[in-house]
Structure formats: structure tokens, C-alpha cells
Structure 1
Amino acid sequence: MKANYGKLLTNIAGILGVTGVSILITLPSGAEVVQNHDANIKSKTQIAQSSGGGVLNPRPSIFNEPRYRNRKAPRTTQPVKPETEVPSTPGTEKPETTTPPTTQTPTSTTETKNVIEVAESAGSFKTLIRALQAAGLTEVLQGSGPFTIFAPTDEAFAKLPQDAVRDLLKPENKEILVKILTYHVVPGKVLSSDLKSGKVTSLQGDTINVQVNPSKGVLVNDAQVTKADIPASNGVIHQIDNLILPPSL
């Protein structure tokens, strides 16, 4: 099994390698997470990952899909320059640039519900909820957090063939499913107004490329944020239109 798993990671790493944007993201102090608390959350995800039992599937069919198979080439979109760039002409101040957030949906009634309850009540994340249940992650995400979830909609999952989704939800694929889902979660509460072009570290451990463009909105890897700042009692949800995969898989 170890040999198959090592071969799986080697194959997928070659297939899914993505060139990162070399710009450091800065988050407000309110979005920071205490190390001990973060370690506790990661410990819970490791328990969920290791409790699946069975033999790991050497290659879930989701990795055969073209949009995940052809990820060797780096993105051609030019990254937005960091706001802290030193002006080229001495003595001149670079005006501060503001990036309009994507459409926000402040709903006071959702602020009393945790991120799982908010996702369930939204009605557009049914497949995501099923996946979180299969991965044993609902209890983790109902905790105190806070969490920021880049949540793929049912339409995002529907872009994949149903057999690929079914394959991913099988018990033998639980370890990979946990890694994929925790890659969509960032520790801390990060609103759209806090996002800047650069990298942010996911709960899974790999970084997510964030691109903030005044005309195109916010991209996380190759997914578009279609609805931002859906509030919850223990974090915030940003709706995205594609499933994203960790580079290390």
C-alpha cells in the first residue's frame, strides 16, 4: 500500500504542479490563529484522515479529468503588484490602491450559525456537505474556529463527471478527500477586504494562490470567487465556481 501511495503522490505531483505567485500575502492581526489552537485543529483533521480504514485507491478518477490533468503550465494571468512597492521616482508617493470586493452578502441571521449550518441552509453546497460528511470533517468545522472556507458550489462539482465525484466519496479515498477539502479551508476569518494578491496557507498545509484584480475580482488558484463574505458565527464562507486541488497531490 505504501508503494502504491508513494507512486500516486509522485504521479499526481508531476501532473498538478502549479507555479505560485511569489508575493507574500498580509493578513490583519484579527485573522491570526494561535499556534496551539491551529495545531489542535490540524490534529483533528489528521484523526479524520486516518480513521477511514481500508486500502487507499491508487488513483481516484477525479485526477483523470482534463482540467486537473493539464495543470503543468503556469497561469498566464499577470499577478497584481504588491501595494508596498517602492515608487520608481524618489519623492513621489504612490497612491494607495483599493480593490473593490466581490459582491458581499451580509446576512445577520447567518451570524448565529456555524459555517456548516450556513452552508446547509444556503442550499447550493449539498455536494460539499456530503463530501465533508464522508471525510468526517463536519465536527471540526463546527468548532470555535474561526475558519475561512472557499466553498465550491454544487455547480462547481457538476462540472466533473458524476463517476468522478462518486469515486472521490468512496471510503478508500477518504485520505485524499480530507486533503482536498482542508485545502479549501484557511485558519482565521479572512474577509474579501483583507485579501491581497499573493499566497495564503490552507489548513491542509499547501498554499493557495490569491489574485485580486479590480476588473476580474478575486481568483483562488483557477477558481473565481462568485459570492464573498457569507458570515457565520465561527468564520466566513467565500463561494467559488471550481474545485481546487492542493499542489502536493
Structure 2
Amino acid sequence: MSKIKILILVIAFGLFLKACGADDQTPAADTTADAVEPSIVEIAVANEEFSTLVSALQSAELVAALEGEGPFTVFAPTNDAFAAIAEVVETLTPEQLTNVLLYHVLDTRVLSGDITDGIEVPTLLEGQNLTVNVVDGNVVINGNATVIAADVEGRNGVIHVIDAVLVPEL
């Protein structure tokens, strides 16, 4: 499938998620303000394109942390992004997998409108930053992962879908 078709599908899904609202994704008995929008984990679980990411989060026991209050920004790689480096992912120790996943998470909400060219943002992997650039109108993380859908908002943060897995210094 071409990158353009994938981009169109991901953007369409993001718009679909925003249009759905919380009533479609929250149990009817739960009417608290925090339950109005799904969490970033619930958004990822509901999207088959993130099944590898969700499995990795479960393996690394990070689901509960990302269900927390936040706010978080998650640069979420698609299944295709994980498939592209499957041989590398399979060799990671549990600690290394956790570090790779934490490298995709910021402890603040960063929307696409907040991004300026050349900024460095600290990740939850202590001591490691992401470099964010704008190249030909596209947001590129660390020079190799392009944001293909931005600003998928949840109650505790925002997801930006990326086309590559970010790998920190391990």
C-alpha cells in the first residue's frame, strides 16, 4: 500500500475518532467528567493499526501508567512501523522495550500547533530528547519518523501517529 493511501486511511481514522465522541466508547453507567473522552490507551486499543503498540505496552506493563491523569503526548507508531524493525524489536530485553516505548511519550500535551521547527522535547525516558523539525510542511521526529496524523485527543493526552518506531540510545 502506498504511503499516500496509508496517510489518507490514518487521517480518516483520526477524524472518525474525533467525530465519534465519548458516548460510543464509554460505558453508559459512567457519567463522570473524566469518562467523557477516552484515554489515549483506550483510543489505541480501539484502533487495529496500533495493536502492536498496545501489545508492547502490555508487555512492558505501561498501560496503567498511560491510563493515568497525564497529560501525555504519545508519538504512536503504526503496526507497519513496528513490522519494519521487527527483527530489532524481537531482540530487545524487557528493559530495552520499556525504554523504547517511554521514548515515544512526553509528560505534557503538545498539539501540532505548538510545534516549531528545531525544538527538542524531553521524553519519559530520562535524559533523552526528541528533535522535532518541520520539513516541507511535515513534522519529522529525529529525522526519520513523520507524523502522518496529528492531534488525536483523549482525556489524558494527545496522540500523533508516526510512520516509524523511534529508537533511543540503548
1:72-151 maps to which residues of 2 (within 5 A)? Answer: 105=15, 107-108=18-19, 109=21, 112-151=37-76
Structure 2 residue 155 is matched with structure 1 residue 233: yes
What is the match of residue 154 of structure 1? 79
SS at 2:100 equivalent: helix
Whether the 8 Å contact between 2:89 and 2:97 is mirrored in structure 1 is: no
SS at 2:121 equivalent: strand
Q: Aligned letter for 1:202?
A: T
After TM superposition, the score normalised by the length of structure 2 is 0.76
Q: Shift of residue 226 of structure 1?
A: 0.3
Q: Which runs of 5+ in 2 are unaligned?
A: 1-10, 23-35
Q: Which runs of 5+ in 1 are unaligned?
A: 1-102
After TM superposition, the score normalised by the length of structure 1 is 0.53
Q: Which has the larger radius of gyration?
A: 1
Q: Shift of residue 128 of structure 1?
A: 0.4
Name the % identity: 39
Separation of aligned partners in 2, 1:122 and 1:203 = 24
Larger RCO of the pair (alpha carbons < 8 Å, separation 6+): 1
Q: Shift of residue 154 of structure 1?
A: 0.2
* 1:57-111 Cα distance to aligned partner (Å, 9 max, x none): xxxxxxxxxxxxxxxxxxxxxxxxxxxxxxxxxxxxxxxxxxxxxx673705256
Structure 2 residue 111 is matched with structure 1 residue 191: yes
1:172-191 maps to which residues of 2 (within 5 A)? Answer: 173-191=93-111
Q: Aligned letter for 2:115?
A: L
Structure 2 residue 89 is matched with structure 1 residue 165: yes
Structure 2 residue 139 is matched with structure 1 residue 218: yes
Q: Shift of residue 122 of structure 1?
A: 1.7
Q: Aligned letter for 2:130?
A: I
Separation of aligned partners in 1, 2:97 and 2:56 = 8
Q: Aligned letter for 2:55?
A: R
SS at 1:231 equivalent: strand
* 1:153-212 Cα distance to aligned partner (Å, 9 max, x none): 001011124x443333xxxx1111111100000111100000112101111120101002
Separation of aligned partners in 2, 1:216 and 1:241 = 16
